[in-house]
């Protein structure tokens, strides 16, 4: 099997990172390199990483690359520059790969050279695999390019196994985005009409937790600003390829109207206006276009009368919600029961053994 490069952006949370690394080493294929891109962690990750990897020293190559704090997107880009594999797997440092993930998805890429990517099902867990029993999401027969604009994210960042040359066509992760960069990246990939296939098996596990993340420290305004920028970029990608249909535009516009409401709550009327103006331009249906224009007009009138634009936008939002009956974004996350075909016994045992060896990391 061609070599696979697994790229893990990391910032602190060492106790979770070592489990992610072990999930890479228990893969059923040996042709692997694991690249941990340390994004300015406050402690030295290397001793614990090499301790976790020591039982698997003959299995795969572990590489630690450190850079000044720059965010997850920059870390993934650094990993891509360092990677040597023909296939690429991204993995968040708090998540886990099923032992059969790489072999299963790589087999499809090898069988069909025209494929750019193969994605799988993702399962949520809290402290141990199987404790939530819910999927991240699942295909339903609707084209993914029609679902993503509605925030109906079919696959997570870790779900795909990519052919490296396809990633070169998609381009780098956008370092201007502090969050939602994976959604923008996948929207960009879909707009470039990548060819992909789906494996209807749970081969990746997403940890549900409230702990530290690589975006720790972002306030609400920065998150909303990043979401707004990601949505604007997604619209540009679709429009550039003449793929911005009315339905997709309505999904992006609804996303922006919700974001505008949150920006008003955070007292950033200027960015809320930007979101509303962009929503009106992106909307495919007159109803959603009008909703954006009504809210924007309310803000401009309030400004002219030197009254509270935030209050005016809130009242307009209530009117729009009541009269326009905006569609709910089609987000099915955490609502679909798991259809896992087997228990990842090898992974569960490896993590249990790791916790015994490095108990202090989990104290």
pLDDT at 331: 60
**Planar angle of CA 197, 198, 202, nearest 5 degrees:** 155
pLDDT at 334: 64
What pTM, to 2 d.p., does this model score?
A: 0.92
Q: Is the pLDDT of residue 340 over 80?
A: no
Which DSSP helix (H) or strand (E) runs through 222? helix 220-240
Distance of alpha carbon 31 from the chain centroid: 26
Contact status, residue 126 vs residue 53, Cβ threshold 8 Å: no
Distance CA 284, CA 252 (A): 10
Calculate the average pLDDT of the chain: 89
Range with the poorest average pLDDT among 25-29, 72-76, 188-192, 286-290:
286-290
- Write out the DSSP string of 47-116: HHHHHHHGGGTTT-EEEEEEE-S--HHHHHHHHHHH---SEEEE--TT-EE-TTHHHHHHHHHHH-TT--
Share of the chain above pLDDT 70, in %: 94
Q: Please, which pLDDT band fits residue 357 given cuts at 50, 70 and 90?
A: confident
Higher pLDDT, 299 or 76: 76
Q: What is the pLDDT of residues 194-206, one digit of tens each?
A: 999 999 999 999 9
Which DSSP helix (H) or strand (E) runs through 23? helix 14-25
**Planar angle of CA 14, 19, 22, nearest 5 degrees:** 125
Higher pLDDT, 336 or 331: 336
Higher pLDDT, 323 or 192: 192
Domains of the chain, first to last: 4-213+336-362 (3.90.550.10), 220-323 (no CATH)
pLDDT at 240: 96
Q: Is the pLDDT of residue 362 over 60?
A: no
Higher pLDDT, 296 or 321: 296
Question: For 117-121, what is the mean pLDDT?
Answer: 97
Q: Is the pLDDT of residue 98 over 50?
A: yes
Q: Please, which pLDDT band fits residue 5 given cuts at 50, 70 and 90?
A: very high
pLDDT at 118: 98
Q: What is the 3-state secondary structure (H, E, C) of 264-307?
A: HHCCCHHHHHHHHHHHHHHCCCHHHHHHHHHHHHHHHHHHHCCC
Range with the poorest average pLDDT among 12-21, 113-122, 298-307, 327-336:
327-336
3-state secondary structure of 142: coil
Phi and psi, residue 201, nearest 5°: -135, 150
pLDDT at 363: 45
Which DSSP helix (H) or strand (E) runs through 230? helix 220-240
Instruction: Name 143's Cβ contacts closer than 8 Å, sequence gap at least 6.
Output: none
- CA distances, 299 to each of 17, 19, 250, 265, 289 (Å): 46, 50, 22, 14, 16
**Residues of the chain by 3-state class (helix, strand, coil), percent to 5:** 50, 15, 35
């Amino acid at each position: 099997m061609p070599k696979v490069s697994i790229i893990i952006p990391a910032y602190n949370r060492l106790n979770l990172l070592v489990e992610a690394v072990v999930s890479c080493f228990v893969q059923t294929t040996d042709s692997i390199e694991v690249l941990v891109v340390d994004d300015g962690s406050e402690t030295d990750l290397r001793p614990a990483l090499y301790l976790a990897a020591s039982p698997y020293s003959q299995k795969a190559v572990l590489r630690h690359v450190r850079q000044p704090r720059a965010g997850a997107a920059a870390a993934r880009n650094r990993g891509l520059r360092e990677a040597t594999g023909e296939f690429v797997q991204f993995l968040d440092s708090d998540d886990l790969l099923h032992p059969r993930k790489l072999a299963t998805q790589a087999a499809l890429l090898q069988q069909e050279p025209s494929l750019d990517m193969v994605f799988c099902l993702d399962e949520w867990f809290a402290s141990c695999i199987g404790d939530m029993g819910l999927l991240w999401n699942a295909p339903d027969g609707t084209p993914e390019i029609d679902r993503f604009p509605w925030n109906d994210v079919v696959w997570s960042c870790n779900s795909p196994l990519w052919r490296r040359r396809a990633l070169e066509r998609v381009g780098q992760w956008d370092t201007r985005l502090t969050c939602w960069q994976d959604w923008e990246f996948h929207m960009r990939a879909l707009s470039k009409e990548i060819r992909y296939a789906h494996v209807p098996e749970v081969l990746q596990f997403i940890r549900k937790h409230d702990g530290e993340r690589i975006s720790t420290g972002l306030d609400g305004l920065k998150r909303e600003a990043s979401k707004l920028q990601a949505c604007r970029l997604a619209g540009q990608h679709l429009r550039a390829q003449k793929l911005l249909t009315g339905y997709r535009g309505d999904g992006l516009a609804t996303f922006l109207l919700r974001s505008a409401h949150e920006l008003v709550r955070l007292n950033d009327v200027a960015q809320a206006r930007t979101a509303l103006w962009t929503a009106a331009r992106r909307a495919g249906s007159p109803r959603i276009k009008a909703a954006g224009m009504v809210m924007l007009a309310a803000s401009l009138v309030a400004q002219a009368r030197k009254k509270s634009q935030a209050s005016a936008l809130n009242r307009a939002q209530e009117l729009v919600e009541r009269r326009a009956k905006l569609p709910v974004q089609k987000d099915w996350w955490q609502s679909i029961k798991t259809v896992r075909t087997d228990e990842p016994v090898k992974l569960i045992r490896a993590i249990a053994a790791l916790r015994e060896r490095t108990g202090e990391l989990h104290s």
